[in-house]
Amino acid sequence: MKPVIVVHGGAGRIFKEREEGCRAGVARAALRGYAVLKQGGSAVDAVEEAVRSMEDDSHFNAGCGSVLNEKGEVEMDAIIMDGKNLDSGAVSAVKCIANPIKLARLVMEKTKHMLLTDHGAHLFAQAMGIPEIPGEKLITERSRERWKKNLEPDSNPEEFQKDLGTVGAVAIDSEGNVACATSTGGLSNKMIGRVGDTACIGSGGYADNHSGATSTTGHGESIMKVVLARLILYHMEQGMSPEVAADTALDYMKTRVGGLGGVIVVNKTGEWAARFSTKQMSWATVKDDNLHYGIYAGEKHIKSVDEALASEREGF
């Protein structure tokens, strides 16, 4: 099987001044995940690596750069899933951790459970030797400004839903195993303790070697209502291509519950799709040693991996 990785940096609105940073961030993440696959790493290793790269990149709403809750704190959700055996691990409402996706993977591999939250997740992180970092280190000037603006009495709650960033990755490795990973700071000015779709299996992501893998982004409550990730795999099980399955499920979410979002998909034969019902979604994929990436509907840049790695230093 030829390895494939697809990543997204969140569906929603990307301001002009952030577009280049988001394009570069998803391209870098896809290249890192692909390097893992080319060295014989598993799909799970690759999606973790790609998501970690975006958690460390302050352009995205995950890890450093996460949006803030109503109290002005970062609270993050993450999930990872292995399509070989349907194992998955997730964390919700975690604070003061640089890479929630790593903790989600430890939940998958070192516990009998699938989701740890808040205080329990922190106790587990300590037991696993994951360093705690000051919450301030995850907060950017942009997320603080956004939080303050949303607190103003005339702020429009609809605005909460426009920056719907979340990061995610799906991959298929040389043995035909698929995996997904998704990580987010959630919604800006969300209630303390709000858990979104990202931590919920079948909503924020799903992976099954029998069909494929998907990672979602968008309005979490809408995604949960339609169980978006599992819905896409269901459509593929009925014979749809990744692109048609993604569009069908996104259309359903829009018409049924008025929700917007985006998805990345890979099927068990390595066909892939990156589709969204929002105005923009940053995405990238590497297949056959070629990097494809874009932000707007219809936008697709293509470079060979060698060319992309050479241009990485100057920016994409």
Residues that bind ligand GLY (CB under 6 A): 166, 184, 186-187, 196-198, 217-220, 223
Residue nearer to ligand GLY on the CB measure, 63 or 196: 196
Residue nearer to ligand GLY on the CB measure, 84 or 146: 146
Q: Is 197 annotated as a binding residue?
A: yes
111, 140, 166, 269: the active-site residue: 166
Minimum Å gap between C-beta 311 and ligand GLY is 31
Q: Is 220 annotated as a binding residue?
A: yes
Residue nearer to ligand GLY on the CB measure, 212 or 220: 220
Q: Is 217 annotated as a binding residue?
A: yes
Residue nearer to ligand GLY on the CB measure, 21 or 165: 165
> Known catalytic residue: 166?
yes
Q: Is 315 annotated as a binding residue?
A: no
Is beta strand 272-276 parallel, antiparallel or unpaired with respect to 261-267? antiparallel
Minimum Å gap between C-beta 200 and ligand GLY is 10
Which residue numbers are catalytic?
A: 166
Annotated binding-site residue numbers: 194-197, 217-220
- Binding-site annotation, residues for substrate: 194-197, 217-220
